[in-house]
Each structure stands twice: as C-alpha cells, then as structure tokens.
Amino acid sequence: MECKLEVWKLAHQLTLDVYEVSKNFPSSEKFGLTNQVRRSSSSVPTNIIEGQGRQYKKEFIQFLYIAKGSLEEANYQLFLAKDLEYISNEQYMKLFDLCTRIKMMLYKLISSLK
C-alpha cells in the first residue's frame, strides 16, 4: 500500500526512522518510551491515509489535525529520548527536521482543503 501524497511518504519515512533508532533504547523502555514513540510516529501516516479515504473533505481535515497532534507527540518523545541519551543529538536533529517538514506540509494541505 502506498499513498501518493508527499506528506504521507515523509510521515512513513519518519516512522521507519523512529523504529530504527528506537531499536537501541534500553530494554526497560520496551513498554514505555519505545512503544510510545513508535505508536505516535506511526499514527501520523495512519491518520493521513485514513482521512484521505473518507468521503468528505471535512473528515479528511479532521484526520490531518489528528496526524499533526500525533506528530507533536512523537517530536516531544524524541526530544525526551535525546535528553535521556537514548539517541544522539545528531539523530534527534535529523528527526526534528523531518518532523518540521511534515508539520509544514500538513499545514499547507489543511489550508488547501479549507
């Protein structure tokens, strides 16, 4: 399955990147931060594609807002992982930059649908 929206492609890449970096989190975080950051990051492309499949534009916009909220959640959890030294500053900045690009694309998409 693949969505043609560029924002979905970047959100999917974010999820893959988060899964990769979170492999190195301590085992004590398996049901904590590891699970949380994986769920929040995967929620972004999930909500984009679910919204795109809805019948009405208003519903799509609502799912894009949910995706944006999940993105903010993932962004904070990555910041926390950096401060806990689970990921390097370099890894965090790469993911932060990707989150910022996705956020801007979500804003533009929402604006274009209104």
**pLDDT value of residue 1:** 64
Give the mean model confidence (pLDDT) for residues 69-86.
Answer: 98
Is 54 part of a structural domain of the chain?
Answer: yes
Is 1 part of a structural domain of the chain?
Answer: no
Assign residue 81 the CATH number of its domain.
1.20.1440.60
Is 23 part of a structural domain of the chain?
Answer: yes
Give the mean model confidence (pLDDT) for residues 39-50.
Answer: 97
Q: Encode 48-83: b = buried (16+ Cβ within 10 Å), e = exposed.
A: bbebbeeeeeeebbebbebbbebbebbbebbeebbe
- Domain containing 30: what range? 6-113
Q: Do 51 and 110 contact (CB within 8 A), yes or no?
A: no
| Count of domains observed in the chain | 1
| pLDDT tens digits along 26-36 | 999 999 999 99
pTM listed for this prediction? 0.94
